[in-house]
Amino acid sequence: MNNISSLMMAGLSEKEALAYMDLLQHGESQTGPMCKRTRIPSSHIYDILNKLLGKGLVNYKIVNNIKVFRASDPDSLANLFSEKEKTIRQEKEHLLDFISKLKVMPSQPERLTDFKYYHGIRGIKSLYTEIINSWKTGDEYCIASAPLESFRKLEGFFLEVVHKKRVKDQVSLKILINQQGEKWGPVRKKMPLTQVRYLNISTKTEYGVLNDIFFLVSYGAEPYGLLIKDKNFASTYKVFFDLLWQQAKE
C-alpha cells in the first residue's frame, strides 16, 4: 500500500493526500510550486489546503503578504484517525439502535411459503445471518455437500460469526463435506456440538436444512443463494440428507 492510499484510509481525499505528502517532502511552499508538483489545478488548491487546515494537518505563515504552507507533525494523523474511529463507533451505535427499532415494527404475516434470493458474498452472508437468527437453543442444523469454494470464500465469516453463535446458542451441526474440502474437516470436528462426515463427490453447490428452512448456495465466480421457508421442502431435503449421512464416511 502506498503513502497516498494510507492517507486516504485515514480519511483524506486523494488530492488532500497529494497536497499533504508534497508539503512533507518539500517543506514550506507557496501554492504555485505545489500546483506544478502535484498537478492540482490552482483553482482547487486553496479549497484543499483549507480542508487540511481544518483537519489540523497543515499550517501556514505569511511572508510578504503571501501564505506559505507547511505540513503539521505526522502525529496529527493519529488524532484524525481517532476522530474517524469515534465517528464509526457513533454510526455503529446509531445503526444498531435503528435495527432494534426495525425489529419491533409490525410486519406483514409470513406466507406459508417464502422464497428469498441472495447474490454475491455479502448476499450469502445475509442469507446465513437470517439462518442464525432463526434457530433456537437445542436445534439441529444440517449442511450437505459443502464444497471447497465455500471454505475459501467464507471461512472467516463461518468461524467468527456463524459457528461462534451456533456454539453459544447450543445448536448442533451435522455437516457433509466434499472430499476436496476435507482439510477443513478437522477444524469442524474440534468444535462442540459438531459431527463431520465426508462425501466422495464434487459439487459447487451446498444445501442446508434448519427446522422449516431449506437453503441452497452456489459458489461460482459470483456466489448466489436461495432461502425457502417451507415445511415440505425442508422435511423432504432432510430425508435426503439423512440418506447421504448414512452413506458418508467419517
Domain boundaries along the sequence of the chain? 3-76, 114-247
Res 124: pLDDT = 86
CA 247 to chain CA centroid, Å, is 36
Instruction: Specify the CATH number of the domain 3-76.
Output: 1.10.10.10
Higher pLDDT, 155 or 176: 176
Low-confidence winner among 92-96, 136-140, 153-157, 225-229 (lowest mean pLDDT): 153-157
Low-confidence winner among 2-11, 37-46, 178-187 (lowest mean pLDDT): 178-187
Res 155: pLDDT = 78
Res 146: pLDDT = 67
Q: What torsion do the CA atoms of 127, 128, 129, 134 make, to the nearest 10 degrees?
A: 100
Over 90: is that where the pLDDT of 111 sits? no
Percent of the chain beyond pLDDT 90?
28
Q: Which residue do the cell numbers 447421504 mark? A: 244
Domain 114-247 has CATH 3.20.20.70: no
Over 90: is that where the pLDDT of 54 sits? no
Alpha carbons 57 and 65: distance in angstroms, whole number: 22
End-to-end Cα, the chain, rounded Å: 45
Over 90: is that where the pLDDT of 169 sits? yes
Res 222: pLDDT = 83
pLDDT tens per residue, range 185-232: 788 888 899 999 988 887 778 899 999 999 999 887 788 889 999 989
Low-confidence winner among 22-26, 73-77, 137-141 (lowest mean pLDDT): 73-77
Res 107: pLDDT = 62
Higher pLDDT, 216 or 102: 216
Name the DSSP class of 249.
Answer: B
Burial 88-106 (b: 16+ CB within 10 A, else e): eeeeeeeeeeeeeeeeeee
Res 136: pLDDT = 92
